[in-house]
Amino acid sequence: MTAAEQLRERYAAELRGFGSSLPEDFGAAAAELAPRFSAQQLELWAQAGVALANYSLRSWEASAEYFRASPQVASAMRFEQLMAWARIATELAERSSVVSAAFLKATPEVLEHLPPWQLEPWARQGERLCRGNWKSIALCALYFSSSPRLLAAMSLQRLGELVAVVDALTERSYELATTCVEHAPQIFGALAPRDHEPFLRFAQAVTRVSWADTRLYLERGPALLERVEPEMRSRFLELAARVTADVGRQGFPLFAGAAAALGEIELSQHDAMLAFAGRLAIASPIAAMEYLKSAPFVRTRLTAEQMQQWAESGASVLLEDGNAEGAEAFFRLESTRAEQLMTALTARVELAHVGSTLRLYAKALTGEQVSVRSTEELVERGIGWVTESSATTEGTAIYLPPFISTFEHQDANFQAYKVFATHQAGRMEFGSFRYRFGDDGTQTPSTVHERERRVRGDAPTRATTAMERYFDLFPDRALIAALFTVIEDTRVDAYVGREYGGIRSVLRRLQAHEAQHRPALQGMALRAAFVENLLRASLQAADTMQWPHALEPVLRDGLSALRMVELAEATVQDSAEVAAALYDIAQRIPNVELEPDEQWETPDGDLLEVAASMPGGGAGDVPMPQGEEAEFETPPQPEFRGDFKPELVQLLMQLRQQREGDGEGEGAGSPITQQQLQELLEKSVELSLSGMEEGDIASSLAMFLSGLEKEGGTPQGEPRPEHGQQQGSGEEPVQQDLPVAIEWFHYDEWDFRAADYRPRWCRVGERVAPEGSLDFYQETLQRHHGLVAETRRQFELLRPETFRKIKRLEDGEDLDLDHAIEFLVDKRAGVGPQARIYWRRNKIERDVAVAFLLDMSASTDEEIEKQRPRRNEREDGFDDDPRKYFQWLAQRRAKQAQEPPKRIIDLEKESAVLIVEALEAIGDAYGIYGFSGYGRENVEFYTIKNLDEHFSDRVRKRIAKIDPVRSTRMGPAIRHTVHKLEGFEAKVKILILVSDGRPQDHGYGRDRTEKEYAVHDTKQALLEAKRAGITPFLITVDKEGHDYLGEMCDDIGYEVVADIESLPRRLPSLYRTLATQ
């Protein structure tokens, strides 16, 4: 019997109780180990296994693993080490047999990654996770069972760090900790080993501050990192960890944002950028991350060097001025300084910055009420334009691209904008849309009537506009549209060149630029190539033309016709004639693709200088190549000329006229019908070309129609304010439910921490306040009739003292007899008096405008009763006798039911009534406005009475309807009121803000409780008012010390109305003092 068999015999009995497999496992292992170990050793080994099996109820499972793993484990180590291993297993079994089993089972594979002496630290690391409850046991077991894979991906030390993270997570969520372990092998397998440590360090930091983010980090982190330059990843992670230690919860979002941002930037820049961020991080980790986050946006405007310059300026805010908040705002792009600097540095010009200049410019050129808008808006309007990037005009607005960055210098790009705008304005100024069917041009007589007869016979035209009627003469709509566009653009360019010598050179530059970026001619189908050549010639780049030699006469005819519209007096009528003649020529050119070996040549000097003349038909007999014809494709338009849709513009103009009831003008006699519109759309070149599905056509048809209708409904004019709609605009609008027109304005907001404005931060929506009933006003007057009469009287005293005599003047209207006599007497007496003996009437004019701004925030909903100190009453009166108290309470409730308690807003309203009465007596110009809103994008501004509006019943009704709405963002409301006052002519301007003293809004400060930010911004807005020559005055009706404004309004007029209910009395008298200073 072998030693192993003996052993087996001996232990068979002991192992019997543990299921059938255990003795077998034991036997198999013993057989393998016997040759290696001495009997004594074998004995020790076996005893350890049996002890393990006996340790607890289920520890036989661990024991089984022990026996199964032993042969392999033993082959990797000395016997003492094996015994140490067994001891660890036993110790683990003390905690849990499951854990122990997992440990034992994983060991053989783990040994592929670890030397035997590291088994102990490996086990101890895992043991930490085991806390006795079943969740921790499962997690710990998972640790061991995953270890082979984990250790394949990472070192033991890193694994220890991972355990620390996992351990920390267990305090929050075992589920999360488990996932973490499950995914770890994969995550770390994907990461470069050198990044493991920083990755884990950041993970620890994240877990510490925001455990929920750990999951996100583990899920997304590796992918995010992948987009960072490989060499830089660990540096980036270190930075992120440092930031997180500093900023807490924001750490991961900042990391994610910055990583995504880095992903959008060339890898070669990462080094420098991270180095820079590292510098910032020393003083402000947030600034560092914000810097990285804004980088992609900044890079769309600036080159790498420019960005460096820009960032340095932000760094100096941080490092030199020591203003961390300022630097953070700077890099978050929420600072005027940052934006201005960017604008100064960039070559790219934004429409947002130059739009208003260009609008006035275009207005000057055309004499029309044009507005300038971004092409992005055009498609949305759904009136037949479908390309978003081309400049164009629809007759009242000029659409320009949102930015231009074609050239290297800002000025060149701005000049380009000017050329864009001038070309579009030129279409209006030089009459591109004033085509009249059948009128002669200055260079060419009209032939369209004959053509119409030829094409249509006696059938009447169905066209709605002259342009449409013209286009209808040509079977190939795309071809005539392309030709007419080239010709008319040529004419407009020629005019611009002649009339605006100052931008001629820029125009040439743009033409040259466009000419260099034309599609290749060779390979184009022949007819398209013909049009393309004309276009090149019209860009003054005839030398880039290419054309088959054999067909030269055809091109010559085309060119000389083109030159016709470059003549000084040419009109759109000439363009139409020339385009028609060119159409005839082009029609004869088959749209075939020529063999590659066909001779295309650049025409010589002679052709470049052809004189203007209408084609005489001499080229008629040139033999044309044969072949299969392709569909005609319109060559792309040069950018500065943009889209041209004269037929739509004429239609729109006609629709607008129709709406305005202006019946004059050609074709305006018969109103346009839906059907005609439909036909027009179906003919629209772009739609047929883009090959839409039936459904698409139907839906865009509907969009087109409704778009057009809207257009027609809006009278042409100033840039239309964006119109918003309030809720409640149903299908059938009732008088009062009509959608309220909202006009939007943007204002900066003052960030006192950054000591800088946040540009265009708040959006103020101005609207006319809703109307209530007339009763309120009348009732208030009756209730306060005594007060009303008194204030009226006081105010009447302020009325302008029209003509007052000023006496004792050296010169004046007339002699003052008394003084004259006095003078003569003095003189005779030799006193030597001065000849001040005239008088004159002096006129003192009263010229005051005042704007009242009423706080309509929810806090004004508070009852005044509540704010009264009532405690004493309660304590003294009822403390001993609860019945009395309840009695009192019941009485009070009953009283309230009859007469609802007054709220702050009610007093504001009553005061408004009084002040209106008083001001009407004195004749000062006044406006009443209310404000509220929620968030910076939604500051609501209600006009109750505009400064230049007459007092009326509508105003009375609006006062009645003043109601508490939402929050209080005072700054933008004040700024908007200042804006209104600035637009009003008066010598003395006053702004009176009536509020409960609590500026408060979503995002108006770091959190809901912070007041400083809001207070600073409000104060800043009041100072702006002062700077604009307006006297601001603040009245707050807050009694409970919520008055945050008071303390800082040192140099601004300010009053807390002590007894709130006296507000209606106090306001008029305050005004009196203010307006007569």
Question: From the CB of 501, what's the least distance to other proteins, in Å?
Answer: 5
Task: Pick the closer one to other proteins by CB: 55 or 495.
Answer: 495
Encoded one letter per residue, x for contact with other proteins by CB under 8 A and - for no contact, window 75-114 reads: ----------------------------------------
Decide if residue 815 touches other proteins (CB under 8 A): yes
* Amino acid occupying residue 520: A
Task: Pick the closer one to other proteins by CB: 340 or 356.
Answer: 356
- Residues between 952 and 1011 that touch other proteins (CB under 8 A): 985
Cα-Cα-Cα-Cα dihedral sign, residues 1048, 1050, 1055, 1056: positive
Burial 230-252, CB ≥16 within 10 A → b, else e:
eebbbbbbbbbbbbbbbbeebbb
What are the beta bridge partners of residue 392? 399
* Amino acid occupying residue 744: W
| Distance in angstroms (rounded) separating the CA atoms of residues 52 and 434 | 102
Task: Pick the closer one to other proteins by CB: 428 or 904.
Answer: 428
| Distance in angstroms (rounded) separating the CA atoms of residues 1038 and 904 | 9
What are the beta bridge partners of residue 806? 840
From 254-262, 496-504, 688-696, 1014-1022, span contacting other proteins (CB under 8 A): 496-504
From 327-335, 503-511, 703-711, 988-996, span contacting other proteins (CB under 8 A): 503-511
| Distance in angstroms (rounded) separating the CA atoms of residues 328 and 334 | 8
Decide if residue 43 touches other proteins (CB under 8 A): no
| Distance in angstroms (rounded) separating the CA atoms of residues 798 and 919 | 10
Decide if residue 717 touches other proteins (CB under 8 A): no
Neighbours of 626 (CB within 10 A): 8
The pair of structure tokens assigned to 440 is 């002669």
Decide if residue 58 touches other proteins (CB under 8 A): no
* Amino acid occupying residue 659: R
Place of tokens 């070192």: 155
Near other proteins by CB under 8 A: residue from 601, 813, 826, 875: 813
| Distance in angstroms (rounded) separating the CA atoms of residues 590 and 626 | 7
Decide if residue 182 touches other proteins (CB under 8 A): no
The pair of structure tokens assigned to 189 is 């397998």
CB proximity list for 57: less than 8 A, separation 6 or greater: none
Question: From the CB of 187, what's the least distance to other proteins, in Å?
Answer: 56
Neighbours of 948 (CB within 10 A): 12
CB proximity list for 842: less than 8 A, separation 6 or greater: 803, 804, 805, 806
Task: Pick the closer one to other proteins by CB: 710 or 987.
Answer: 987
- Concatenating the DSSP letter of every residue in 317-373 gives HHHTS--HHHHHHHHTT--HHHHHHHHHH-S-EEHHHHHHHHHHHHHHHH-S--EEE
Task: Pick the closer one to other proteins by CB: 421 or 788.
Answer: 421
| Distance in angstroms (rounded) separating the CA atoms of residues 958 and 950 | 13
Question: From the CB of 1028, what's the least distance to other proteins, in Å?
Answer: 14
Task: Pick the closer one to other proteins by CB: 453 or 808.
Answer: 808
Near other proteins by CB under 8 A: residue from 132, 502, 730, 882: 502
Task: Pick the closer one to other proteins by CB: 865 or 985.
Answer: 985
* Amino acid occupying residue 315: A
From 460-468, 792-800, 810-818, 848-856, span contacting other proteins (CB under 8 A): 810-818
Near other proteins by CB under 8 A: residue from 835, 844, 889, 890: 835
Question: From the CB of 919, what's the least distance to other proteins, in Å?
Answer: 18
Near other proteins by CB under 8 A: residue from 504, 753, 979, 1072: 504
Task: Pick the closer one to other proteins by CB: 102 or 365.
Answer: 365
Question: From the CB of 502, what's the least distance to other proteins, in Å?
Answer: 5
Encoded one letter per residue, x for contact with other proteins by CB under 8 A and - for no contact, window 419-448 reads: ---x--------------------------
587, with CB counted inside 10 A (0-12, 13-18, 19+), is middle
From 50-58, 150-158, 777-785, 814-822, span contacting other proteins (CB under 8 A): 814-822
Decide if residue 814 touches other proteins (CB under 8 A): yes
CA distance to 172, 383, 895, per residue, from 129 (Å)? 13, 67, 67
Cα-Cα-Cα-Cα dihedral sign, residues 67, 71, 75, 79: positive
Length of the chain: 1077
First to last CA, the chain: 124
Decide if residue 812 touches other proteins (CB under 8 A): yes
The crossing angle, in degrees rounded to 10, of helices 904-922 and 953-960 is 160
Near other proteins by CB under 8 A: residue from 35, 132, 460, 501: 501
Task: Pick the closer one to other proteins by CB: 412 or 787.
Answer: 412
| Distance in angstroms (rounded) separating the CA atoms of residues 782 and 764 | 36
| Distance in angstroms (rounded) separating the CA atoms of residues 1001 and 874 | 35
- Residues between 338 and 367 that touch other proteins (CB under 8 A): 356-361, 363-367
Decide if residue 323 touches other proteins (CB under 8 A): no
Binding residues with other proteins: total (CB under 8 A): 30
Decide if residue 843 touches other proteins (CB under 8 A): yes
Question: From the CB of 837, what's the least distance to other proteins, in Å?
Answer: 8
From 311-319, 502-510, 683-691, 773-781, span contacting other proteins (CB under 8 A): 502-510
Q: Using CB under 8 A, list all residues that contact other proteins.
A: 356-361, 363-367, 418, 422, 499-505, 812-815, 820, 835, 837, 840, 843, 985
